[in-house]
Amino acid sequence: MAKDAAPDSASLEIDGLCVATARGRALLDVPGLSVASGTLLGVRGPSGAGKSTFLHAVSGLLDSARGRVIWGGEDILALSTERRAAFRADKVGMVFQDFMLFDEMSPMANATISGLFRRGPGLSEAAGDLLSRLRVRTEARSVASYSGGEKQRIAVARALAARPGIVLADEPTASLDRVAADRLIEDLVSMVRSSGATLIAVSHDEHLLSALDRVITLEDGGITRDEEVPS
């Protein structure tokens, strides 16, 4: 994919983002954060620090989130639930720890599943190109027999096939051994950079975090460190 292949790449501005339980206990409190379009941002922190809550909040998945989460000038927290879902379908690709594939379907069918939710030409061609670049065998058998590393590369192809401007990854290497994880890191980082998308990756994996542009640390729901990654 060419560098200009992701027209929906987006900057992120957070202002007064808060998420609390029904009883009022704060799960996330981020007064402000700016992320330039095309940045690869890592989010680290101990278990229970609010990392997944942060990712869910910036994707618009939490109705309980308060404040402003502005992607490319649009405050998604001000949208209805239906319009936030439409925003994700149109602009966001997601990579999950547990792959979230349909095991009975082929790699190509999984990689083009977003065609059910968004419109646009060339999805099959893009998915096929991504699977080829990711070295995934694309015979018409189900993905159930593929290795964990292969499944996660299929998930990456699915996330990027529609050329989203925003890619969100939740512990994408946690289910992989070190060799498969390092291969996935190389592929994911290379492809996101070439697409021009903005990446936010929650991870404990220092190999992944060290391959990104910037890393924030969350503790007790707040950002305690914000540092550029040395090139």
End-to-end CA distance of the chain: 23
State the average pLDDT for the chain. 91
Q: What is the DSSP letter of 120?
A: -
- The mean pLDDT value for 136-151 works out to 89
Give start and end residues of each alpha helix (H) in 22-116. Answer: 51-58, 81-91, 107-111
**What's the whole-model pTM score?**
0.91
Say what the pLDDT of residue 231 is.
81
Look at residue 9 and tell me whether its pLDDT is greater than 80.
Answer: no
Structural domain spans, the chain = 12-225
| CA separation for the pair 182, 179 (Å, rounded) | 5
Mean pLDDT computed over 46-50: 93
- Chain segment 169-218, per-residue pLDDT in tens: 999 999 999 999 999 999 999 999 999 999 999 999 999 999 999 999 99
Return the CATH class of domain 12-225. Answer: alpha beta
Positive/negative CA dihedral, 204, 208, 211, 214: negative
Q: What is the pLDDT of residue 228?
A: 97
- Written as one letter, the residue type at 86 is A
Using the predicted structure, report yes or no on whether residue 8 has a pLDDT greater than 50: no
pLDDT in tens, 76-134: 999 999 999 999 998 999 999 899 999 999 999 999 987 766 655 678 899 999 999 99
What number of residues does the chain have?
A: 231
